[in-house]
């Protein structure tokens, strides 16, 4: 078999080692960084059915754009988080992770851009305990 770059690879591999390192971001020391971890978790939410958040992302059809499937492209577009604790946020929660729909935000800003209501089988709106905010609970007591 042949890698996309033209180098021979084994039958069980999809890429040669240099190409795999480029995809993973390991050739530049970023694989252990927080931005790499955020990228990895973003992809996992969208594509791994065993991820606890898959239902809210991949299960709803949310994907990562083809360009961002390669870590270095994601890093080139988003750069380092601009401040400690910065989180990636989709501007429109019903659209994919892509450069035109993502920005860095504080955790507080990110929590304001969440879908609050979920529909059960009978199509009644219900809230999970994770969806309730402390301020909302205080209003009722």
The CA–CA distances, whole Å, from 79 to 24, 38, 122, 130 equal 16, 12, 44, 30
Angle between helices 71-78 and 17-24 (to 10 degrees): 30
Q: In the chain, which stretches have pLDDT less than 50?
A: 27, 117-120, 123-126, 129, 140-141
pLDDT at 7: 79
pLDDT at 111: 83
Residue-wise pLDDT for 48-74, tens only, equals: 999 999 999 999 999 999 999 998 899
pTM: predicted TM-score of the whole model, two decimal places? 0.62
pLDDT at 65: 98
pLDDT at 22: 65
């Amino acid at each position: 078999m042949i890698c996309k770059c033209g180098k021979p690879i084994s039958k069980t591999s999809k890429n040669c080692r240099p190409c795999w390192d480029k995809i993973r971001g390991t050739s530049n020391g970023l694989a252990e960084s927080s931005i790499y971890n955020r990228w990895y978790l973003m992809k996992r939410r969208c594509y791994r059915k065993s991820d606890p958040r898959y239902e809210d992302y991949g299960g709803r059809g949310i994907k990562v754009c083809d360009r961002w499937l390669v870590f270095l492209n994601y890093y080139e577009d988003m750069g380092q988080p601009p401040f400690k604790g910065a989180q990636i946020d989709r501007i429109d929660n019903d659209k994919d992770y892509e450069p035109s729909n993502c920005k860095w935000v504080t955790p507080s800003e990110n929590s304001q851009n969440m879908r609050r209501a979920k529909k059960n089988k009978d199509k009644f709106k219900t809230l999970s305990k994770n969806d309730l905010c402390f301020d909302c609970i205080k209003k009722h007591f």
